[in-house]
Amino acid sequence: MATGSLFLLTEAAAIAGAILYRPLLGAADGRLAQGADTRALLGALCEMVLVAAVAGTGAALFPVLRRHGEGLALGYAFGRLLEAAVIALGIVAVLALVTLRRDAGAADGADAALVAVHEWTFLLGPNIALGLNTVLLAYLAYRARLVPRFLAVLGLVGGPLICASAVAVMFGAYAQLSVAGAAAALPVFAWELGLAGWLIARGFGPLDNDEVPGR
């Protein structure tokens, strides 16, 4: 139940953080709108909660996953730590951006560079690293029958899809915050919500034969 709650917390904190600091990142003239710095700081706090929750899911699931593949379980735990570290770097960029935009004499180049750092961390952390971690966890869950197969398959499809979308964004095919980018992220979003609900309701353990859909 606690692990499921952590997955729900990652989704809530990520959405809240992005909504709160987006006006700061989108200020084309570099000037802060009224209250934008306060919103950005609140967004950074939300993402600090996200960092803790992301790392917490890896730590909480490791004792269970290691019984079904210690190497992959370690990969998942360290992958979540890497994802959390990249997100933390993005938080630092946002906080530095707040400082620069409070200073009327801040250089435009530094201002733009910090926005770029945050955008790249957002692409590498909650997209590529998240996609790889999703594949690892979904594969272990599918192989050990820890969740219903349709849920594991959702993660196995969603992980590569969000990674492929991040690569497409990287090479300029479309913007990350676009209809195509959102559509590519939906399967992973549904996987994490479904996994959270399953963990809260049922827990993480091998399913009996009569609990596996399609058998």
The pLDDT score that the predictor gives to residue 201 is 84
The pLDDT score that the predictor gives to residue 214 is 42
Is residue 213 predicted with pLDDT exceeding 50?
A: no
> Any idea what DSSP says for residue 68?
G
- Of 78, 84, 48, 49, whose CA–CA distance to 61 is shortest? 78
10 Å CB burial of residue 49 (0-12, 13-18, 19+) is: middle
- Total-model pTM: 0.80
CB 170 within 8 A of CB 163: no
HSE toward the beta carbon, residue 196, CA cutoff 13 A: 17
The pLDDT score that the predictor gives to residue 136 is 93
Averaged over 153-168, what is the pLDDT?
94
The pLDDT score that the predictor gives to residue 210 is 43
Which tens digits make up the pLDDT trace of 44-93?
Answer: 899 999 999 999 999 988 888 888 888 888 999 999 999 999 999 988 88
Average pLDDT of the chain, as a whole number: 84
Averaged over 37-48, what is the pLDDT?
88
CB 191 within 8 A of CB 147: no
Q: Give the whole-angstrom CA distance, residue 72 versus residue 94.
A: 33
The pLDDT score that the predictor gives to residue 102 is 67
Residue position matching structure tokens 């700081």: 41
Report which secondary-structure segment, H or E, holds 203. none
Averaged over 127-146, what is the pLDDT?
91
Angle at 13 between CA 120 and CA 10, to 5 degrees: 85
Give how far the C-alpha of residue 80 lies from the chain's centroid of Cα atoms, to the nearest Å: 9
Is residue 122 predicted with pLDDT exceeding 90?
A: no
Name the more confident of 176 and 213: 176
Report CA-CA distances (Å) from 21 to 47, 48, 179: 10, 13, 20
Report CA-CA distances (Å) from 189 to 32, 62, 111, 201, 208: 32, 21, 31, 18, 27
pLDDT band per the 50, 70, 90 thresholds, residue 40: confident
The amino acid occupying position 82 is L
Averaged over 187-193, what is the pLDDT?
93
